[in-house]
Amino acid sequence: MKLGLELLHGLGAEAEFPGGGFYLWCKAPGGDAWAFAREIAETSGVIVSPGEFYGKASPNYVRFAAVQPTADLQTAVDRLGTPSGAG
């Protein structure tokens, strides 16, 4: 989960450690979840879901599911140049 936060923070998104589960929700910088999801995919190779997939209440958010092995998440963070332990 910490690596997911590093990845999102590295892209300028505000996200907080969740109280439970393995999903991170963050508001898309600029409010365009689709554009932010595309940026994350192009920059880090990570796929996130635009919030509107999950209902009308979260169209400006993306959902990051921290379900990949730690090594894969670390690779994505490294692609962004965000040092592990930051954030």
Domain boundaries, the chain: 2-74
* Contact by Cβ (8 Å): 62, 33: yes
Spatial neighbors of 4 by CB under 8 A, at least 6 apart, are 15, 24, 64, 66, 73
pLDDT tens digits for range 26-82: 889 899 999 999 988 888 788 889 999 988 888 899 988 877 787 887 887 787 665
For the cut 60, the answer to whether the pLDDT of residue 86 exceeds it is no
If one compares 11 and 63, the residue with the highest pLDDT of the two is: 63
Q: 2-74 has which CATH code?
A: 3.90.1150.10
Q: Which of 1, 11, 14, 85 is nearest to 42 (CA)?
A: 11
Task: Give residue for tokens 């969740």.
Answer: 18
